[in-house]
Structure 1
Amino acid sequence: MSIVPHKNSKPASGVDNTSRRIWDKDDFRKKAEEREAKASKEEKEDSAYEARKRKRLERDPLHQGLIVERTHLKQRDYQIDLAARLGKTQVVGLNMPLSQQAGYFCSVCDCILRDSQSYLDHINGKWHNRALGMTMRVEKSTVDQVRRKLEEVKERKNQPEQDDYLPEGIDRRIMEAEAAEAKAKEEKRLRKLEKKAKEDKQDEEDAGGDADMMALMGFGGFGGGKK
């Protein structure tokens, strides 16, 4: 059986109208590597965060059961000396413990801070105070406490100044060193005067002995005197 084409139908053009998509394998491989690198980075960050969190919980006295409740934020009872190691030379190694490395060591959190600003931010921060068993909230003072504090300040102002009072910005160690230096200079000057007095006395005694000896030998003065 033969099929006769319709008289109005168009002949085939002989061109394939279907299109095949071409995939860029290098581009997709690059995107896959970027996704893997991003996932690996996020995983590392999560693991580092979990490690820091675990260490903080291990240092937290509330988590360890050492305290029942956190206390309010309190004032430090010690003076921070940021210039204690200024001008000193220290040998630093990679295998040395944190407490002996260069920087500011926090024994509470077992960490090292490389500059004074970072150290101050750390000891005034949340996690350091949580490790000390305190919150970041300050206890509210009552009216009686404020009045008592004002009375103490007023009494302190009315009291006479003590001899050991130092104005702000003057170091007591500098004053003590200057006083010791002045005392040493004064002692040295007194020793010189005493030595000179002894030498003058010795010269007078020697001169008197020579005059007596000359008189015994019959020698008189040498010129200038009346006969």
Structure 2
Amino acid sequence: MSQSKALVTTKSKVDNTSRRTWDKEEFRQKANERERKDKDNEKYDARKRKRLERDPLHQGIIVERSQLKQRDFQIDLASRLGKTQVVGVNTPLNQQAGFYCNVCDCVLRDSQSYLDHINGKWHNRNLGMTMRVEKSTVEQVKKKLEEVKAQKAAANPDDYLPDGIDRRILEAQEKEEQEREERKERKKEKKAREREAEAAEEAADADPEMMAMMGFGGFGGGK
């Protein structure tokens, strides 16, 4: 009987009448975080879908990916240096400022990003290659060394000076320096002719009476 009274007394001290309070700021932050994650997932899905559309393996163009191969063309990074280009809203992607990748249909804004892109995973996947390099055999290494040796032997020794400098590069530098000096001389001559023309115009515009009072004779062949 005493135990039942103790239980009743303990239960009566519990306050169940107050309503539970909610931290609205905390739940607002959770909702914003969940919304941000959903947007990131949507962007990731769109990016993934775009990559799959350009993947030749996923499209069934190839059966399996090939090993990573050496690039057989020279990358042009300097052809558009110093040029001005007007870019509008309706300008095609391949004509916008930057480096355009026709494989992935995207534009990279600087050369470092472009090099990172074409050497990266997704670009090479769109080319149908993996990032694994084929292991070379001993015979392939020997053959490559023989090819390099033959190329060096085929070089014309007259193209090099005794100290190892390429004669063609040296001649090109000398020619460029000569052309630069010629341009400077032409500019000097042009400025001299302009000064002479200005002096002649000033002399022609001068007042003859004032010139006579100052003791200056005529410049022409008058009497």
Partner of residue 38, structure 1: 33
Partner of residue 73, structure 1: 68
Partner of residue 190, structure 1: none
1:181 Cα deviation (Å)? 5.6
Q: In 2 relative to 1, CA 67–159 (structure 1 residues): closer, same or farther, beyond 3 Å?
A: same
Instruction: Please list every run of 5 or more consecutive structure 1 residues that lacks an aligned counterpart in the other structure.
Output: 1-15, 186-227
TM-score (norm 2): 0.62
Structure whose CA Rg is larger: 1
Partner of residue 77, structure 2: 82
Partner of residue 104, structure 2: 109
Cα distance in 1 for partners of 2:90, 2:159 equals 46
2:56 is the counterpart of 1:61: yes
Aligned ranges 1:43-192 → 2 under 5 Å: 43-161=38-156, 167=166, 178=176
1:96 Cα deviation (Å)? 2.2
Instruction: Please list every run of 5 or more consecutive structure 2 residues that lacks an aligned counterpart in the other structure.
Output: 1-11, 184-223
Aligned partner letter, 1:144: E
Instruction: From the two aligned structures, give the one with the greater helix fraction.
Output: 2
Cα distance in 2 for partners of 1:155, 1:125 equals 33
Aligned partner letter, 2:135: K
SS at 1:105 equivalent: strand
Paired residue total:
164
Q: What is the identity percentage for the equivalent residue pairs of Structure 1 and Structure 2? A: 60
Aligned partner letter, 1:89: T
Q: In 2 relative to 1, CA 66–77 (structure 1 residues): closer, same or farther, beyond 3 Å?
A: same
Aligned partner letter, 1:32: F
Cα distance in 2 for partners of 1:60, 1:171 equals 48
Cα distance in 1 for partners of 2:139, 2:36 equals 56
Q: In 2 relative to 1, CA 78–47 (structure 1 residues): closer, same or farther, beyond 3 Å?
A: same
SS at 2:74 equivalent: coil
SS at 2:67 equivalent: strand
